[in-house]
Chains A and B, each alone.
Chain A
Amino acid sequence: MRAPSTAEIAAGQVLLAVEDISLAFGGVKALTEVSFEIEKGEIRAIIGPNGAGKTSMLNVVNGFYKPQQGRIVFKGVSHSEMEPHEAAASGIARTFQNVALFKSMTTLDNIMAGRTLKMHRGLFWQILHVGPAAEEEIEHRRKAEEIIEFLEIPHIRRIPVGRLPYGLQKRVELGRALAMEPDLLLLDEPMAGMNLEEKEDMSRFVLDVNNQFGTTIALIEHDMGVVMDISDRVVVLDYGRKIADGTPDKVRDDPDVIKAYLGVSH
C-alpha cells in the first residue's frame, strides 16, 4: 500500500506520531516511554536540559537508532524501525548539532547532493552525460539555485564548505535539508554557537520555510527566547522522560519544567 502523500494529510492533522518509545544503550536509558505527536504545518520544539535525550529522539525518528520498544507512525504508516535512507525517502530531512556537511564539496554541490533522491537517471545516462541526464542535472540545478537564493548565500556558491564560517555552514546545512523538499524537517540546535544577529537570521529562515513551503518542523533548541517566540508547541524531556507538552506559555509555567531546569529547594 502506498503511503498517503502529505497533500492528503491536511494541516493540523497528525503527521508524525511517536508512540511509547524506549531506547537504552546497555544499562543507560536514553528514552523511556516517550510519546508525542507532530501536526502538519506546525513548528514543534523539543527542549530539555543536557542529556535529556533530545538528540536521541531525533535519531530514532530518522532511523539512526533502533528503539527497543515503541513505534513511529509517519504519514499514517507505522514503523517499528527504519533505515536512515528509508526515512529520507519517505520525506524526513535533518540537520545536525555539529555541522555534518560534505566539507570538501562546494555549497552548490552540497545542496545538489541533497537532491540525490529526486534524480533518477541511471548509470548509462550518467556516463554519457548528454540528453536526459544533462537535462535532469539542469532541472535540479534550478531548484538548488532557488534554495541558494532563498537562504541568501549566492556569494558562497562555489566555495568548499569547509572554508566557510560556522554560521554559514549551518545555513548551507539547512539548504541541503531543504533541497530534499521534506515533509518533516528535523533541526538539531540550528542556532547553537551563533551570535544574536545570526540567530535572528536563522529564526527568520525557519519561520519562512514553515510559512512558504508549509514544511513541518521539529527543532531542538536551548535558547528559550527563540523557542518561545517561534514554536507552536513544545515538548519537554528530562532524563529520557516526557515531563511536559503544550503551548510555550503553558510549558513555561509548568512546575515540573521549572524544577528540571532550575532544580528545587529542599
Chain B
Amino acid sequence: MFYREAGQFKTSYAADQAIFPIVQDRIFVLLVLLAAYIIPPVFLGSYWFNAILIPFLIFSMAALGLNLLVGYCGQLSLGTGGFMAVGAYASYKLTTVIFPDLGMIFIFLLSGLVSAAVGVVFGLPSLRIKGFYLAVATLAAQFFLQWLFNKVPWFYNYNSNGTIESPPRSLFGTIMEPGGMLEALSFLNPLVTSPRATPVTKYLFALTLVVVFALIAKNLVRGRVGRAWMAIRDMDIAAELIGIRPMQTKLLAFAISSFYCGIAGAMLLNLYLNSAETLAFGINISFEVLFMVIIGGLASILGSFLGTAFIVLTPIFLTNALPAIGLPLDTAGQKHVELMMFGGLMIFFLIVEPHGFARLWQIAKEKLRLWPFPY
C-alpha cells in the first residue's frame, strides 16, 4: 500500500538505472538524510554523539570498505584493523610532522591513500590463494602492521608512552584560518579534531564523509567496476574469459577497500578516540567489522549500515536494558552478560537469516508492495 510501484513506468534506460529507481525509495532516503543532518544537532546531547552516532558512522565507513572487498569482490579479509591502523598512524604523522598546516579533510584523504597502497601490497597474495587461506594471509597483515606500529618509534613520534594523539586541526587547514590566504572564509572552517572541537562539528563532518563515500561505493558497484568484482567473486575463470583481468580487479578492490578502512581509522583516532595506541586497532576490530558486513548483508551498501547499527547499538542497548529490568549487576558482570547475549543473538540471527539484514529488508519490501491485499 505504501510501497507500490505500480504506475511508475520508466521510459529511458537512464531512469531505469538510477540509484533509487522507485519514487518511495528516493523520498525515504532524502528524509533519512535530512533527519540525520537536522535532528541530532538540534535535539541530542553529547552522550549520543560520543557514544553512539560518531562510532556508528566511523564503523559504517569501515564496513562499507570491507563489504566492497568481501561482499562484492569475494576476497575474505581479516586485516581491517591493520588497515585502519595504517590510516590512523598516517593521519598522525601527516598532522604532526609532514603537513601540520593541512586541513583534516585533506589529511583524511591522504591517509586513505596511504592505506590503499598498503592494502595493495597485502592484497598480492589474493592472486594465488582464495577463501580461508586468503583470510589467514590477511591476518598476517593485521599482526604485522600492529607489530610495526608498536615497535618502530618513528610512527608515534618517539613518545615515551607510545600513544598517538589527535592534534587540534581545522577542516580546511591554516589557509582558511585567521592569518591565512583565505581568511575571509574562516567561518566555513571549524575546528574538527581534538577534545576542543564540539561533538556536533565532529558528527557533521563524519556524517558528510560517510554520505559521500557511500554514494561513491554505490556508484562503483552499479557500474563496470562493480560488475567486474562480482564476476570475479562468482566465477573467476569465466570472468577472465570475458576480458576481466583478475589481478587488476582484485588489487583495485583491495586498494579501494583499504582506502575506506584507512579513512575510518583516521576518523577513529581524530574524531572519536583522540588518543590511541595499536591496541585500539587489534584483531577484535577486524572481526567486529567482518561481523557487521556479514550480519548486515554481503554485497549490500544498505547492509553495511544495518550491520554496523546492530553491532554498535546492541551492547549499548543491553547496557541500558539490563538495569531497567532489575538486574543490578556490577560492571564486570554486566559486560559478561552483554557478551553472552550478543553471541546468542548473533548465532540466532545467522541461522534465521544468513543473508543478513539487507535481505530481510528486501523481503519486507516485497511484502509491503502487496500489503494489505496479498493476492
Interface residues of A (CB under 8 A from B): 62, 64, 84-85, 87-89, 93-94, 96, 100-105, 109, 112-114, 116-117, 119, 121, 123, 126-129, 133-134, 137-138, 141-142, 145, 176-177, 180
Contact = CB atoms under 8 A, between A and B. Distances in A.
B301 to A, nearest CB: 13
A102 B73 CA distance: 12
Nearest to A136: B224
B243 A117 contact: yes
B61 to A, nearest CB: 16
Contact of A121 (B224, B227, B231, B238): B224
Contacts of A137: 17, 223-224
Contacts of B219: 126-129
B223 A96 contact: no
A62 to B, nearest CB: 6
12 contacts: A84-B241, A100-B237, A101-B234, A102-B235, A109-B227, A113-B239, A116-B243, A126-B223, A133-B223, A138-B13, A141-B13, A180-B242
Where chain B touches its partner, the secondary structure class is helix
A127 B17 CA distance: 15
B1 to A, nearest CB: 23
Contacts of A116: 224, 227-228, 231, 242-244
B294 to A, nearest CB: 15
Nearest to A94: B241
B228 A113 contact: yes
A62 B242 CA distance: 11
A185 to B, nearest CB: 12
Given A85-B244, A88-B242, 8 more contacts: A101-B235, A123-B225, A123-B252, A133-B223, A134-B17, A141-B13, A176-B242, A180-B243
Contacts of A129: 219, 222-223
Contact of A127 (B16, B220, B227, B238): B220
Interface-centre pick from B14, B223, B228 (highest chain A CB count, 10 A):
B223
A133 B239 CA distance: 21
A96 to B, nearest CB: 7
B365 interface: no
Contacts of B239: 102, 113
Given A102-B239, A116-B244, A142 B13 contact: yes
B238 A102 contact: yes
A101 B13 contact: no
Nearest to B12: A138
Contacts of A145: 13
A101 B228 CA distance: 13
B234 A103 contact: yes
B230 A104 contact: yes
A106 to B, nearest CB: 10
A43 B351 CA distance: 51
Interface in B281-298: none
B183 interface: no
